[in-house]
Amino acid sequence: MAKDKKGKSHKEERKEYTFNKLKGLGQEIIEDIEQNKVPSVRVPSRGTGNIVYDEAKRYYVLGDRYGKRSLGNVKQIRKMGQMVYVANFCKDLVAREKTATIREMYYVSEGWGISFKNQQESNIVGEDLEVTLGTTREDLGLMPEEDGASVYGDITLTDEVEINASKMGKSGYTISPTIDQVELGECNVDKVLAVETMGMFHRLVQENAHKRFNCLIVGLKGQAARATRRFLKRLNEEKGLPVYICNDGDPWGFHIAQVIISGSAKLAHVNHDLATPDAKFIGVTASDIINYDLPTDKLKDVDVLRLKELSKDPRYKSDFWQTEIKKMLKIGKKAEQQSFSKYGLEYVVDEYFPAKFEEMENQA
C-alpha cells in the first residue's frame, strides 16, 4: 500500500481524520456544558440558496451560509440529539473499522430512545453530519444499499488482498462502497471508458475493448453511485487517466454524464471528492443520432422539458452542450447507446469508439 511521509496509508489517514472530527464534535459539546454554555452546532446550509456553481472549480459547492442547531431551542433539541447519536454510532463504526448500511442505522436507532420518523429523516441527519464535519458518509462508515458498479481492465487493486480487475471473470471487479480504503496499484492502461448501461459494459468486455483501446471499462449502472464517481476521480487524479463517458442519447444520459463531470447540487458539500471536471462526454450525442442514422424514439414532453432545463444549467453553458441540446430539440429524437447494434454487435467497438477516440485526440 502507498504510504505518506509519516508511513500512513491513504486508508489510515482518512480513518484518523474522520475519527478525530467525530471526537472533536463531542468534545465541543462537553466543553460547552462544562463552561455552563448552551451546547450548539453550526451546520452548513444545504438549501438551494447556498448551492453555488464555482466557475474555477467547475462543480457545485456550498456557500458560506450556516444554520445553528442548539439545545437552547426547544424545536431543535430532537434534531441535536439525533445528530449526537448518529455521530456516536459512526465513531464506534470507525474505531472498530466496521460499516453499516443507512438502512441498518435506521433500525439501530429504534433502540436510542430518540428514533427517527422514517428513513428519509435518518438519511438527512447523516448528511447533516457529513457536511458539518467536512467528511463523507462512506468515511463515517455508512454505506448505501445499492450494489456497486463494475470495472474491467488491467488495474491492480488492494483491499486486504491484491486483485486484478481483468482477472475477475467477465463481470469485472465490483467497485466497493469503501473505495477510498482500496489502494490503486499498477495500472497498465492509458484511459477510462465509462458507459451507462451494463449491457454496453458486457458488450465491450466480450469484444475485448479493454485491449483494443488499452482502457479500463467502467459500467455505471445508470446514475453513477457516489463510490463510482469517487473511483473515476481517483483514476483521473492519482493515475492521470483521461475519463471518457458514453451514455444514452437523451437528456437523462446527458445528466448522468454531467453529474460525473461537474457534480450534483444535492452533494455540493462533497463534490470536491466526487466531481471529475476534466472527464469528457463522447456520446451518444444528437449529432451521432444524425450521422450514424440510429434507431430512435420520439422525445416525450418530459424529455423536452428536461432539455430546456439543462440548457439553462451553468454546467451546460459550453458551445458543445448548447449545440447538442438544441440539435436534439430540433430533431425531436433520442437514442439508446445499444442502438448501434443496428449495424451488428461488433460495430460499436469496430467503428464508433475508434472514431470517437480519434476525435478526442484531434481536439487535445
Residues annotated as catalytic are: 107
The three state secondary structure string of the chain is CCECCCCCEHHHHHHHHHHHHHHHHHHHHHHHHHCCCCCEEEEECCCHHHEEEECCCCEEEECCCEEEEECCCHHHHHHHHHHHHHHHHHHHHHHCCCCEEHHHHHHHHHHCCCCCCCHHHHHHHHHHHHHHHCCCCCCCCEECCCCCCEEECCEEEEECEEEECCCCCCCCEECCCCHHHCEEEEECCCEEEEECCHHHHHHHHHCCHHHHCCEEEEECCCCCCHHHHHHHHHHHHHCCCCEEEECCECHHHHHHHHHHHHCCCCCCCCHHHHCCCCCEEEECCHHHHHHCCCCCEECCHHHHHHHHHHHHCHHHCCHHHHHHHHHHHHHCEEECHHHHHHHCCCHHHHHHHHHHHHHHHHHC
